[in-house]
Amino acid sequence: MPHDHACPDPACGCGHTHTQDFGPRPPVAEAPRPWRPEDRLRAISIGVFTRADQILCGPVHSDAGQVTGWRPLGGAIAFGERAADALAREVRETTGQEIGEITPLGVLENLFTHEGAAGHEVVFVYRARFANPTIYEADQLALTQSDGGEFTAKWIPLAKARAGRVRIFPDGLLDLLPR
């Protein structure tokens, strides 16, 4: 998918005006380390955090460091853990923030290829809200991955995603969201 050239930040693609308001932690410039999908079915939980007509997402990078799309916050569900609890834990671990108002939107089966490797996920999708309302005022949110890598989540305009100018993962997610 081509980069959305309406955005002034070539590594972003979100399309909105950037300011120096990066949220509760400083901005991060380092792209995550290369990754490959696991060679097994993986259950994950993701959270749809919205403000106006935007969704908070972290970047999905190619091995070359290019942003290929965006995915809502979340991660793996541990054995014996409920999907909603996994979402709260993953968001707490990556952002240091608490969330609430976790309500189910749907479940997606995500068959995908990343850098030539096949992936297969069952994705539990929830709408959620940050307990700290100032998160919604920041243009970006610095996140820390479990491997110590850091990246920045941004508010992505849903209109651009629906128009195909910005790619949101997993496929089918936009169909679960009201227009």
Residue 55 lies in a domain: yes
Average pLDDT for 88-105: 96
Is residue 103 over pLDDT 90? yes
pLDDT band at 16 (very low <50, low <70, confident <90, very high): very low
Predicted confidence at residue 113, as pLDDT, reads 82
Please indicate, yes or no, if residue 81 is contained in any of the structural domains.
yes
Higher pLDDT residue, 34 or 21?
A: 34
How many structural domains comprise the chain?
A: 1
90: containing domain? 42-170
Greatest mean pLDDT among 85-89, 115-119, 139-143 lies in 85-89
In a domain, 140, yes or no: yes
Q: What is the overall mean pLDDT for the chain?
A: 84
pTM of the model: 0.80
Q: What is the pLDDT of residues 29-73, one digit of tens each?
A: 455 677 777 888 899 999 999 999 999 999 988 888 888 899 999
* pLDDT value, residue 26: 36
Name residue 158's amino acid: L
Please tell me the predicted confidence (pLDDT) of residue 31: 55
In a domain, 153, yes or no: yes
CATH number (domain holding residue 85)? 3.90.79.10
155 pLDDT higher than 50: yes
- What pLDDT is attached to residue 30? 55
Q: What percent of the chain has pLDDT over 70?
A: 82
Residue 87 lies in a domain: yes
Answer whether residue 86 is part of any domain: yes
Contacts of 160 (CB under 8 A, 6+ apart): 4, 6, 14, 15, 166
pLDDT reading at 17 higher than 70: no
